[in-house]
Amino acid sequence: MRVLLPYLALYKRHKGLLTLGVILAIVTLLASIGLLTLSGWFLSASAVVGFAGAYSFNYMLPAAGVRGAAIIRTAGRYFERLVSHDATFRVLQHLRVFTFSKVLPLSPAGLARFRQGELLNRLVADVDTLDHLYLRVISPLVGALMVIVVVTAGLSLLDVTLALTLGGVMLVTLLLLPPLFYRAGKPVGESLTHLRGQYRQQLTAWLQGQAELSLFNASERYRQQMENTELRWHDAQRRQSDLTGLSQALMLLIGGFAVIAMLWLAGGGVGGNSQPGALIALFVFCALAAFEALAPVTGAFQHLGQVTASARRITQIIEQPPEVVFPQKSTQPPETVSVQLCDVTFRYPQQAHPALNNISLNVTAGEHIAILGRTGCGKSTLLQLLTRAWDPQHGELLINGSPIAGLDEQTLRRTMSMVPQRIHLFSATLRDNLRLAAPQASDEQLMDALRRTGLQKLLEDGDLNSWLGEGGRQLSGGELRRLAIARALLHDAPLLLLDEPTEGLDATTEGKILDLLAEVAQQKTLLMVTHRLRGLARFNRIIVMDNGQIIEHGSHAELLANKGRYYQFKQRL
């Protein structure tokens, strides 16, 4: 239960709406009880009075009370649903933002051990499950407690013994059944949460790996694993439904006994009156209505196991200490950037060999450097260290002679423009995806960046309002790459970090992009990772890497003259 405390603290932000929702729920429950109690007494009293006493019996006041209770119940239920769900959605929004704000600093180091499907399930489904804490636990529990107090106090005006008897039965029921069904439902709830996450993870992997699974004839076997997980998930759901049915049956049974007890005790007299008449019906119908108010409580505590399991899964992520910590002190981004790597060594978690091994590199402001090497030699890792996706285990990275760790995150991001290997697009408009790099850019600036990168065709479909699907699925690999370059141009930072910027482009387009990069980066520092050897003669220096080390560097002409690794690359063309 302690795992829920941080999330309960978040509810304070919306305590006004949440409290109003609980108050409206209590008013609705009391109106329902009052409606059934008053209606039962009114009908019984009318029957007892009969036709002969019709002129002496006040029909108007009870009838008005019945209508008033009915109106209050209807209006109260409507506004209770409106307020409670609005408050719940606001809490969920806050929970999502809170969770994402905790997860973001962990990327990528703290999230590397989680698969994408599992991480998505925790951030979406598990956060959604936390809304049960208010709707199915807190609100019904507080409502039930207030119903017991008000019903007991109200009936005490007529008969203290009967009121305490009914109130005592309700209180004992409230104290015993919820903990009992919480213990019974906790393993089932945890199983449901685990199987739900496992199934969605398998489904995500199956959808993403369709090509590979079909190629290796493993699709059917993987599908069978999913079906087995789904069957176990259904079995857990069935067990939870059985517990829900059992809790409702017990509540009906206890409620039936309470009604019989009220009928028997009230028949012997109410408030010293040995001929209680219609008051018997009042106590009996009040008992029926009161136990209806208690009905949701036992079922609610079964969901507490799911809520606790979901909270624990989220906490496992957000309580990890971030691998990279940025200072809070804000500084002004520099206009020119020099980069120094001093004996830098970096090893990925659980990897035997370092990705970078004792690298030293000095890049002066305005210098253009191309980085070559085989796949896995550490080229992209070097750029990631400059963005502080990771921190090296040994050595130091300097920006303009100062440790990069001394820059706050905002300043560091404004200092560099990055074109990564994997381009991320959101399911939003073209304008929204471009403004990630420059939130204040005008439409003219956005369209100019698209035209400069050869993407004017995207403006023909719907201008900047054209919708890019999830991941930009309607775009080719080359278009995605150029869109990332357009964002880098809009960001306009003094340091350009490019990871395979011309991958997927034809020779003509590649030449245009390289000319564009040379033009916009005349006064900027540029580091470009590439496997392609076109246009490298224009770079000030070329660095060749292998096994996490720099094995040669120099200008295009110098490396050709040395006939080393770079010369071998050129000979293979």
Secondary structure of 332-370 as H, E, C letters: CCCCCCCEEEEEEEECCCCCCCCCEEEEEEEECCCCEEE
Residues 6+ apart with CB under 8 A from 367: 525, 526, 540, 541
- Are 393 and 454 in a shared domain? yes
Residue 555, domain CATH = 3.40.50.300
Residues 382, 277, single domain; the answer is no
Calculate ∠ Cα 18-83-2, nearest 5°. 30
Residue 326 lies in a domain: no
How far the first Cα of the chain sits from its last, in Å, is 65
Cα(507)–Cα(458) distance, integer angstroms: 21
Q: What is the Rg, in whole angstroms, of the alpha carbon atoms belonging to the chain?
A: 35
Query: Where residue 310 sits, what CATH number does that domain have?
Result: 1.20.1560.10
d(CA 396, CA 343) in angstroms, rounded, equals 7
Residues 261, 349 share a domain: no
Same domain, residue pair 346 and 308 = no
Say which residues have a Cβ less than 8 Å from residue 381's Cβ, sequence separation at least 6.
Answer: 346, 348, 355, 356, 390, 548
Phi-psi region of 400 (alpha: psi -120 to 50; beta: other; left: phi over 0): left
Give me the half-sphere count of Cα atoms (radius 13 Å) on the Cβ side of residue 401: 1
Which pLDDT score is estimated for 53? 55
Within a domain: 333: no
Whether residue 323 is contained in a domain is answered as: no
Residue 330: inside a domain, yes or no?
no
List the structure tokens of 252. Answer: 């009906």
Domain limit, last residue, from 318, 347, 371: 318
pLDDT of residue 62: 83
Backbone angles phi, psi at 488, to 5 degrees: -65, -40
Angle between helices 60-103 and 279-318 (to 10 degrees): 10
Angle at 562 between CA 557 and CA 566, to 5 degrees: 75
**Residue 179 to residues 25, 169, 233: CA-CA distances in angstroms?**
22, 16, 24
Count structural domains, the chain.
2
One domain, residues 309 and 359: no
Beta carbons of 129 and 307 less than 8 angstroms apart: yes
CA distance 565 to 547: 13
User: Which residues lie closer than 8 Å to 260 by C-beta, 6 or more apart?
Assistant: none
Q: What stretches in the chain show pLDDT beneath 70?
A: 1, 50-57, 461-462, 470-473, 573
pLDDT of residue 462: 64
User: Are 396 and 294 in a shared domain?
Assistant: no
Helices 139-156 + 279-318 axis angle, to 10: 160
Q: Name the strands in the sheet holding 402-403, side by side, starting at the edge strand that comes first in the sequence.
A: 356-363, 339-346, 394-399, 402-403
In sequence order, which residues have a C-beta less than 8 Å from that of residue 462 and are 6 or more positions away?
A: 430
Q: Do 356 and 210 share a structural domain?
A: no
Residue count of the chain: 573
**Inside any domain, residue 332:** no
For residues 174 and 289, membership in a common domain is answered with: yes
Q: How far is CA 152 from the centre of its chain?
A: 43
Q: Residue 447 sits in which domain range? A: 339-571
Q: What is the pTM of this model?
A: 0.72
- Do residues 255 and 389 share a domain? no
- The CB density around residue 563, as the number of other CB atoms within 10 Å, is 11
Nearest to 420 by CA among 494, 503, 513: 503
Q: What is the pLDDT of residues 461-510, one digit of tens each?
A: 667 888 877 666 677 888 888 999 999 999 989 999 999 988 888 888 88
User: What pLDDT was estimated at residue 416?
Assistant: 92
Largest CA distance in the chain: 124
Does some domain include residue 324? no
Q: What 3-state class would DSSP assign to 501?
A: coil
Among 287, 318, 349, identify where a domain stops. 318
> What SS3 state is found at 114?
coil
* Same domain assignment for residues 313 and 343: no
Give the whole-angstrom CA distance, residue 156 versus residue 164. 7
227 with 99, same domain?
Answer: yes
Helix (H, G, I), strand (E, B) or coil at 402: strand
CA distance 339 to 13: 44
328 is a domain residue: no
Statement to judge: residues 406 and 483 lie in one domain: yes
Chosen domain end from 286, 318, 350: 318
Please report whether residue 223 resides in a domain: yes
Q: Long-range contacts of range 554-562, CB-CB < 8 Å, 24 or more positions apart?
A: none
Please report the pLDDT score of residue 317 as a whole number.
83
H helical segments located in 50-59: none
| Cβ–Cβ < 8 Å for 342, 398 | yes
Tens of pLDDT, residue by residue over 390-410, are 889 999 999 998 999 888 888
Instruction: Quickly count helices (H) and strands (E) in the chain.
Output: 20, 12
pLDDT of residue 54: 56
